[in-house]
């Protein structure tokens, strides 16, 4: 992993990325409201679809909690558009395309671009992580190595200040 995870109470790194429709978004545009920034590996895969569906189905609850949901992956705007259309996603997906060095800049800034292992293969990719960024631009909560089922409810509970399962600490593997 190149970048480090952002600790709660630290300022969230600025970003500017295009969404599924090609419109650019900056973190500064969301100043004054809470942002649920969730990083996921790839559009239209099983886990990512389940996670996106949970955020979609809870959209009204996130609005009531005063939060906007932004999904981020290294997929293109075109891929995001197909994914959003196929599953009727009602929130913004940001395209963090890898640069010339093969690293997606925002994923790196937020510490979610890391070495992964699967089926004996080692590769760099996104580790599923969610940040809740407060109205002032500081990280309020971080959820590491997210399990997709029930994750949206866990994030909503944190937004509401409810006690429940705490985000797990990041462990090195």
Residues designated catalytic: 48
**How many Å apart are CA 144 and CA 130, to the nearest integer?**
7
Cα–Cα distance measured from residue 10 to residue 19, given in angstroms and rounded to the nearest whole number: 25
Rounded to whole angstroms, the Cα distance separating 69 from 46 reads 20
Give the H or E element holding residue 86. Answer: helix 77-86
- Report the C-alpha gap between 61 and 46 in whole angstroms: 24
Nearest-CA neighbor of 39 among 88, 86, 106, 100? 106
């Amino acid at each position: 992993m190149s970048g480090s995870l952002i600790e709660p109470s630290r300022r969230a790194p600025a970003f500017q990325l295009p969404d599924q429709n090609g419109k650019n978004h900056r973190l500064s545009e969301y100043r004054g409201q809470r942002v649920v920034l969730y990083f996921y590996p790839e559009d239209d895969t099983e886990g990512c679809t389940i996670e996106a569906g949970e955020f979609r189905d809870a959209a009204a609850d996130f609005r009531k909690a005063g939060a906007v949901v932004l999904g981020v992956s290294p997929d293109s705007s075109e891929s995001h558009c197909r994914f959003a259309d196929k599953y009727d996603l009602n929130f913004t997906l940001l395209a963090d395309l890898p640069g010339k060095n093969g690293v997606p800049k925002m994923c790196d800034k937020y510490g979610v671009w890391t070495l992964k292992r699967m089926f004996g293969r080692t590769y760099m990719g996104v580790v599923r992580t969610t940040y809740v960024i407060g109205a002032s631009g500081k990280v309020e909560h971080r959820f590491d190595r997210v399990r997709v089922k029930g994750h949206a409810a866990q994030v909503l509970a944190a937004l509401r200040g409810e006690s429940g399962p705490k985000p797990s600490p990041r462990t090195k593997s």
